[in-house]
């Protein structure tokens, strides 16, 4: 086995619904769907707006700054690819635009708390995909 082989789950970057999100992440942009009828932002992608039932949407850039809404510290690897990284933090982050994302928090897990400010960082995991992770920031981030 090659040492540079990626051993964690890989997103389907060609998924018809989420493909635009993964393409934007590759460009280090955070995006969400916006309803073309009522302008509500949503993530993950849905074929229909949960607010007004419109089928029309577009992908738009959103703020990369946000606040930890909830989090968990994993002490058990639920996939072998994460075994060497436990314990690690996964958080639900609400961006300044009101969109919620789930992702890893990088940095000191001891400082993670609900209400802490974070910003998106883009981890180029392989040449094919980039993951959105979150880092703690001081002040208004």
pLDDT tens per residue, range 70-117: 999 999 998 999 999 999 999 999 999 999 999 999 988 899 999 999
Asked if the model's pLDDT at residue 140 lies above 60, the reply is no
The range of the structural domain enclosing residue 45 comes to 19-136
CA separation for the pair 88, 6 (Å, rounded): 18
Q: pLDDT: is 140 or 111 the higher one? A: 111
Domains held by the chain: number: 1
The answer to whether position 6 is within a domain reads no
Q: What is the mean pLDDT of residues 46-68?
A: 98
Sheet of 31-35, strand order: 41-42, 31-35, 57-61
| The token pair that represents 112 in the structure block | 């993670």
Asked if the model's pLDDT at residue 4 lies above 90, the reply is no
Report pLDDT for 2.
45
- DSSP letter string, 82-136: GGGG-SEEEEEEEETTS-EEEEEEES-GGG--TT-EEEEEEEE-SSS-EEEEEEE
The answer to whether position 91 is within a domain reads yes
The answer to whether position 87 is within a domain reads yes
Asked whether 42 and 99 are in contact (CB, 8 A), the reply is yes
The answer to whether position 129 is within a domain reads yes
The answer to whether position 64 is within a domain reads yes
The answer to whether position 94 is within a domain reads yes
66 by Cβ neighbours in 10 Å (0-12 / 13-18 / 19+) ranks as: buried
CA separation for the pair 125, 83 (Å, rounded): 17
Asked if the model's pLDDT at residue 121 lies above 50, the reply is yes
Closest C-alpha among 75, 61, 81 to residue 132: 61
The answer to whether position 70 is within a domain reads yes
The pTM for the full model equals: 0.91
pLDDT tens per residue, range 18-52: 999 999 999 999 999 999 999 999 999 999 999 99
- Assign 5 a pLDDT band (cuts: 50, 70, 90): confident
The answer to whether position 3 is within a domain reads no
């Amino acid at each position: 086995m090659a040492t540079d082989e990626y051993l964690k789950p890989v997103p389907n970057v060609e998924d018809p619904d989420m493909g635009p999100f993964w393409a934007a992440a590759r460009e280090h942009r955070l995006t969400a769907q916006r309803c073309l009828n009522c302008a509500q932002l949503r993530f993950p992608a849905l074929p229909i707006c949960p607010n007004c039932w419109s089928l029309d949407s577009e992908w738009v850039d959103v703020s990369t700054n946000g606040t930890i809404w909830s989090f968990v510290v994993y002490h058990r690897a639920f996939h072998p690819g994460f075994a060497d990284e436990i314990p690690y933090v996964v958080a639900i982050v609400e961006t300044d635009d009101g969109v919620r994302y789930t992702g890893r928090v990088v940095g000191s897990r001891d400082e993670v708390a609900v209400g802490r400010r974070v910003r998106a960082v883009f981890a180029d995991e392989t040449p094919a995909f980039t993951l959105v992770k979150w880092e703690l920031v001081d002040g208004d981030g």
